Amino acid sequence: MKYFLILWFCGQFLLFVPDLNAASIYTWTDENGVKRYSNSAPNEDPKDVKVINEIPHTQADEEMSRQNSEKLEQVLEEQKAAEIERKQKNKKIDEEKKKTAIEALNKKVLLEKERLQNEIRRIEQLPTGFRRYKNKKGQTIAIRNSFSLAMKKSKIKEYQDKLDLLESSPEKYFGTSTP
């Protein structure tokens, strides 16, 4: 029984040891208006001394801290996963936009290519030199056509150069940036 009382007394003492080690923080404003903090009471006798007692750390606090750390890690992992998912969605959207822009450019190129080729064919079919016809009096009249052979070749070369540029660099031809 004697040992039991000694053990009980030691156990009770150990329960109150954290309270014995608990510190207090003193805060006050000195005569110069400066806010002071200390772990010991002020030497002078200021009127507005506040004492903040330390709250002892318990096993429950340790468990709560561990749980909060786990929750924080979980939230951070969820944020990382959400960020990765957001980046993947943005990348997919950007790829779709790029694909759509390329398709639109290809369609525009095909239409322009067809237009240029039609223009070249039209110019090739234009007559050169003089056109002759008979008037009401039966006289033969020669009228110069609007295109000479040199003008016709020059115009065809101009359209062919445009066509070559369109095929080699559509972005340069249309004055746009690469999608």
Average pLDDT of the chain, as a whole number: 82
Q: Write out pLDDT tens, residues 78-128.
A: 999 999 999 999 999 999 999 999 999 999 999 999 999 999 999 888 877
Per-residue confidence (pLDDT) for residue 2, from 0 to 100: 57
The helix (run of H) or strand (run of E) holding residue 29 is strand 24-29
Q: Write out pLDDT tens, residues 95-105.
A: 999 999 999 99
Contact 78, 51 (CB under 8 A): no
Per-residue confidence (pLDDT) for residue 120, from 0 to 100: 93
Q: How far is CA 62 from CA 52, 59, 85, 122, in A?
A: 22, 5, 34, 89
The percentage of residues in the chain with a pLDDT greater than 70, rounded to a whole number, is 78
What is the mean predicted confidence (pLDDT) over 21-48? 77
pLDDT at 145 over 70: no
Q: At which residue do the structure tokens 């709560």 appear? A: 64
Per-residue confidence (pLDDT) for residue 56, from 0 to 100: 75
The closest alpha carbon to 49, from 38, 59, 57, belongs to: 38
Per-residue tokens: 39: 């772990």
Q: Which has more confidence, 158 or 130?
A: 158
| pLDDT band per the 50, 70, 90 thresholds, residue 19 | very low
The closest alpha carbon to 61, from 53, 69, 72, belongs to: 69
Sorted by where each begins, the domain ranges of the chain are 1-56
Lowest mean per-residue pLDDT among 7-11, 49-53, 129-133: 7-11
pLDDT at 13 over 60: no
